[in-house]
Amino acid sequence: MAKRIPKAIQAEVLEIVEAYNKKHKKTFQITFRAQYAYLSKTEPDMTNALMKIFTERLGISPNQIPQTRSRKQETKLGRLKWTGDINKWEFAVFRYSREFYDPDEWMFPGAEEIDGTIEGALRAGEQIYK
């Protein structure tokens, strides 16, 4: 088994994720470390938007509430392990309850989409931690 994901494969994976995001209007991200590719998604921090709604309902001027810097929140979804074949990745879902990637857990929304491909992991990622 390969110890590290080759740079050419990393570039191909990034292209797959970018194309998927564009086609499905998603915000998946993938990062690499050693033989692993970590899948996550980002969503805008809704703090300021929610504060605006609450202040309007309470009749308070939004200027009276300090604004926070808007950030994107990352949601960890899973870890793909490089097996030496671009169509045979091993998947481990991220479990927030224990804060680790669990390769033995298969009772999660989207598990049926896991087929060893990057696209399968992305389809599953749409259902994990909605």
User: Is there a contact between 42 and 29 (Cβ–Cβ < 8 Å)?
Assistant: yes
Burial class (CB in 10 A: 0-12, 13-18, 19+), 124: buried
Rounded Cα distance between 122 and 128, Å, is 10
Residue type, position 43, single letter: E
Q: What tens digit of pLDDT does each residue of 35-46 get? A: 999 999 987 655
pLDDT of residue 93: 97
pTM of the model as a whole: 0.78
Rounded Cα distance between 65 and 108, Å, is 39
Q: Please state which of the ranges 22-31, 49-58, 62-71, 89-98 shows the lowest mean pLDDT.
A: 62-71
pLDDT of residue 27: 93
Q: What stretch of H or E contains 57?
A: helix 47-58
Q: What tens digit of pLDDT does each residue of 41-79 get? A: 987 655 556 666 666 776 766 566 665 555 667 899 999
pLDDT of residue 128: 94
